Structure 1
Amino acid sequence: MPDSTLNTTYQSKKIIWYFLLGWTILNIIQGYTFELHADEAYYWLYSRFLDWGYFDHPPMVALFIRFGDNIMHNELGLRILTITVSTASIYILWLILKKYNASAKLFAIVIACMFMCHMYGFTTTPDSPLFFFAVVFYYFYQKYIEQDTWLLAFILGLVIACLLYSKYHAVLLIGFTVLSNIKLLKRPSFWLIVALASILFIPHILWQVHHNFPSLNYHLSERSAEKYHPEFTYLFPLGQILMAGPLIGWYLFYKGFTAKITDAFIRCLMVNCIGTPIFFLISSFRGEVQPQWTYIAFAPLILLIVINFAQKPNLPKWFYPVAYVNIAIIVCVRLTLIAGIPIGRLQSQFGFKQWAYAVKQRAGDNYVVFNEGFQNPSKYDYYNNTLKGFSYDDIYYRGTQFDIWPIEDSIQHKRVLYVLTYKLPGITTDSIKVPAGKWYTGWVNDVRSYQKVTVDNGNYKISLPAGIKHTFDLTIKNPYPVAINFSNKNQLHPVTLRACFFDEKGDAKIQNADTTFNNIALKAGQSTHYNFTIVTPKQKGQYELMFSIRTDPFNGSKNSRIVKFTAN
């Protein structure tokens, strides 16, 4: 009997180590050969401006990228820490499972079947550190349940702080864990965890306060302003099944959700595994939910599936053949991408290195302004290892970190190359055509922009009769470290303040302020009041109102929060 146990242990170690080696090698090859996703390039810019917070996310992803990018500035360098912690996460998951007499072979098969694990085994986004620290949390929490020590409480406090600094979704793990074991509240050591994690997270909270809570406004206000479509909800569970395995995901979810709860740790896994998808399913009624947002729930899902396999070892005969085909499909997809063959939506990750070089050749050492969101400016900056690509976040796009970084300050009164996806009469004079697409370019002299100026009307929900005059008492603030003015005297590009009413189709009805706006001059940090008289939309209905400051030739920046406006 002892010989049999030793042999089983040896075989398990052998399987795990071979699997980890293959997993790591595949991720290294993929990480080196695959062009950056736009989000990865955006987070690389995070790493160039290290801070306690960012518009979209906490700062952990920036540290992950900074670490590898300091070693080598290429795709593998940006992803090397993600690849490392992906392998470490799998090994730690195996350590957690040892208590439950788990099968190393089935554990490796489950990991290999999950498309989500493959995607984020090398891609560096906030989900990567979030998953890693979630796994570390479960490792120490399993011990903490059995051993109520101050040392474990201290470690958990540190880990939870790291979770919070990775992504705000960490709140779900924390909340569901406490919900699964209310008795934790009676432990004095539990409050050390709370206190330590809270203290360590204070710098990020102060950053949010100093920047007027951009993340909170974006995630709770701007995202929820998106018009609801039924496919947001009914496609969500289908997406989760696909992420768990294109052929076998449905069965893996079934095995995870039907594991027998025999202790407090398994109950914690179950509450997190079920609670997180339910939370995002409910969220889908407010706006689109991206499939990877539930990645934090895949750690407990993996554990529950393998625990269930140990509890009920009799598997259906079709399981292994289907699992192997599932794995083969995923590996074939990955090898196809390594070979440089675009697949589906992943075509957007091919050809942008060449595009970035082509734009740089046209721009030289000048700044480049893009009008199509944060994605391509970030790719331009990354592949040219520069900070001279800037995203002009106009009224038709959401806010981004470009609204906070000092790049905009640097383009004032400079000559810049303007890159657009469409022709702009009088501006675009040439084009750049590469396999990634076609862009139009033109030079803009003596640029002036006011992307960071804030305009506040004091209310974010207004109801007024249709077709009447109404005067808004606006507060206009200059956040720049230098004085600004809105005068058009001797200026190449005139500036105006606009009220933009967006209807349900997204079409904008725009009204300009009178020339008294051009008399405003503000010192650094100074605010002033301005009365802006508008005519409410003549057609009754729901609108989104936004105040925008526009200078030629740009579309106008997003200078206020969205106001829910009803014309009745």
Structure 2
Amino acid sequence: SIFHIFGFTTTPDAPLFFFGTLFYFFYQQYLEKDKPGIAILLSLSLVGALYSKYHAVLLVVFTLIANPKLLSRKSFWLIAASTLILFLPHIFWQINHDFPSLKYHLKEREADHYQFQFTYLFLIGQLFMAGPLVGWFWFYRIVKFRPTDVFTRTLVFNFVGTIIFFLANTLKVAVQPHWTLIGFLPMVMLVLIALQPQHKPKWLQPILFLNLFLLLLMRFGLMLKNPVSMKIGVLKSYFGNPEWTNSIRQKARNAYVIFPDQFQNPSWYSYYTNSQKGFAYDSRFYRRTQFDIWPIEDSLQQKRIYYVTDAPLNEISADKLNTAKGIFYGHWIDQFRSYQKMQVEVDSAQIQISAGKTIPLQLKIKNEYAKPVNFSNAGQHFPVVLRAYVMQGDSMISNQMAEPDFNQLQFKPGEIKSYPFNLKTPLKKGNYNLLFSIKSPPFAGPRSSPVINLTIQ
């Protein structure tokens, strides 16, 4: 069922699936014929997979674990060198942008604490992706399968290794079911190998037809806009996007339209208007997306924009938008002001202090923009402020605003300045998270700093 979904959904998983398939195709040939031409094709498929999604690294790791003798082949080092050379542009991009992808995957995505639902929902999701009715049987047959050659051993290591890797990740993050797609490629091949006609149980055929019927039912529900499908979780996101876009565009006209805390809505808006007028404002409640990296926000400063939310804001009047996707509210902001790229750093990632105390922090504020930044509120309708938020789980315990002298700060492009901040700590002992945000209403403020562990003793 997972492959069916990516037949009509555009995500990085679709090209990952394509290049992963090519990898296994050329890898099987490479095992039989150690030729430079096949080695180059194997390298190209691996590069394509890596550019699609970092999960492709698992292909390399588990393939080498399954077949360490590859290291003794001279052509293997040709594959490694050519893959590295072709991937260098992305590595340089990461270096020049301070490794945003690595920071996101290794730190920013982590949950505050482990939740058992991370694990059991992951396991249920894997069974469902393999097939709503037959997924359990595929897993069972693979567990019983015994590899007979290097290629099938590689398939087993990649499938089992991928599942175990992401299962371990559920200890610190909610793993999306489709992240294991790179492991489902070898699963399909192993199932086809294991289920020879003489080993196929009689009851399997009708179950397979029923499984296929359910998939077709879902597919036709999407095609025919079945009322039931239009109300089911993720499926409803496939409906009404052109009409929704048109309803907003009638009000926004040619202005940029900003949506809070998600990348899907601005992407849909840009796609259906054939423009780049959609933009995501990622607040401290959300995570960073590609919109935080693209130089769109820079060009919006002080311009008139249209801010679309799912609830009206108190600060400004709103247009009520009855769209195909529900009711939204549009707000005109005459002088857009945001500081998504301003970075706040604290010397320590962990702070320990007694309850009810005041701790002097020396913040380092860096201007990541290619132009000067001035925090002055003179002539501005909405003031810019620096706030410290103390959180415990999803609950905000306290927030504290910087002193008025913060608004005297001015920065040249790339400049770093120190700023003293006297933080008042919570009155109760416990573990908290501390986050700084440079915000200007009506926006909630971005994650201007990394999350700092605050322990009150």
TM-score range for the pair, normalised by the shorter chain length: over 0.9
Structure 1 segment 232-243 matched on structure 2, within 5 A: 232-243=118-129
| Residue-by-residue CA offset, 1:16-40 (whole Å, 9 max, x unaligned) | xxxxxxxxxxxxxxxxxxxxxxxxx
1:505: how far off? Answer: 3.1
When normalised by structure 2's length, the TM-score is: 0.96
- Which residue, out of 331, 334, 341, partners 1:445? 334
The amino acid that maps onto 1:338 is: M
- Which residue, out of 282, 295, 310, partners 1:406? 295
The amino acid that maps onto 1:553 is: P
The equivalent of 1:69 in structure 2 is: none
The amino acid that maps onto 2:251 is: R
- Which residue, out of 147, 169, 191, partners 1:261? 147
Structure 1 segment 68-217 matched on structure 2, within 5 A: 115-217=1-103
The equivalent of 1:497 in structure 2 is: 386
**DSSP 3-state at the match of 1:545:** strand
The amino acid that maps onto 1:279 is: F
1:260: how far off? Answer: 3.0
**DSSP 3-state at the match of 1:489:** coil
The equivalent of 1:328 in structure 2 is: 213
1:123: how far off? Answer: 1.4
* Residue 290 (1) aligns with residue 176 (2): yes
**DSSP 3-state at the match of 2:86:** helix
Q: Is the 8 A contact 2:315 2:442 kept in 1?
A: no
The equivalent of 2:256 in structure 1 is: 367
**DSSP 3-state at the match of 1:518:** helix
* Residue 566 (1) aligns with residue 432 (2): no
Listed as ranges, the gaps of 5+ residues in structure 1 are 1-114
How far apart, CA to CA, are the structure 1 residues paired with 2:452 and 2:61? Answer: 32
TM superposition outliers: structure 1 runs of 4+ over 4 Å = none
How far apart, CA to CA, are the structure 2 residues paired with 1:543 and 1:375? Answer: 31
Listed as ranges, the gaps of 5+ residues in structure 2 are none
- Which residue, out of 321, 333, 338, partners 1:432? 321
How far apart, CA to CA, are the structure 2 residues paired with 1:209 and 1:472? Answer: 28
**DSSP 3-state at the match of 2:437:** strand
When normalised by structure 1's length, the TM-score is: 0.77
How far apart, CA to CA, are the structure 2 residues paired with 1:431 and 1:468? Answer: 46
* Residue 309 (1) aligns with residue 198 (2): no
What is the RMSD of the two structures over their aligned residues, measured on CA atoms? 1.5
1:508: how far off? Answer: 5.1
How far apart, CA to CA, are the structure 2 residues paired with 1:153 and 1:229? Answer: 44
1:189: how far off? Answer: 1.4
How far apart, CA to CA, are the structure 2 residues paired with 1:280 and 1:158? Answer: 26
How far apart, CA to CA, are the structure 2 residues paired with 1:306 and 1:531? Answer: 64
| Residue-by-residue CA offset, 1:34-90 (whole Å, 9 max, x unaligned) | xxxxxxxxxxxxxxxxxxxxxxxxxxxxxxxxxxxxxxxxxxxxxxxxxxxxxxxxx
1:138: how far off? Answer: 0.8
Q: Is the 8 A contact 1:504 1:542 kept in 2?
A: no
1:349: how far off? Answer: 2.3
Percent identity over paired residues: 45
1:506: how far off? Answer: 3.1
How far apart, CA to CA, are the structure 1 residues paired with 2:199 and 2:435? Answer: 61
1:385: how far off? Answer: 1.5
* Greater displacement, 312-321 / 379-388: 312-321
How far apart, CA to CA, are the structure 2 residues paired with 1:208 and 1:516? Answer: 35
How far apart, CA to CA, are the structure 2 residues paired with 1:543 and 1:350? Answer: 41
Asked which structure has the greater RCO (Cα within 8 Å, sep 6+), the reply is 1
The amino acid that maps onto 1:315 is: K
How far apart, CA to CA, are the structure 1 residues paired with 2:311 and 2:337? Answer: 22
**DSSP 3-state at the match of 1:475:** strand
1:435: how far off? Answer: 3.4
**DSSP 3-state at the match of 1:225:** coil
**How many residues are aligned here?**
453
**DSSP 3-state at the match of 2:352:** strand
Q: In structure 2, do the counterparts of structure 1 residues 215 and 431 end up closer, same or farther at CA, with 3 Å as the change threshold?
A: same
1:159: how far off? Answer: 1.8
The equivalent of 1:419 in structure 2 is: 308
Bigger fraction of residues in helix: 1
The amino acid that maps onto 1:297 is: G
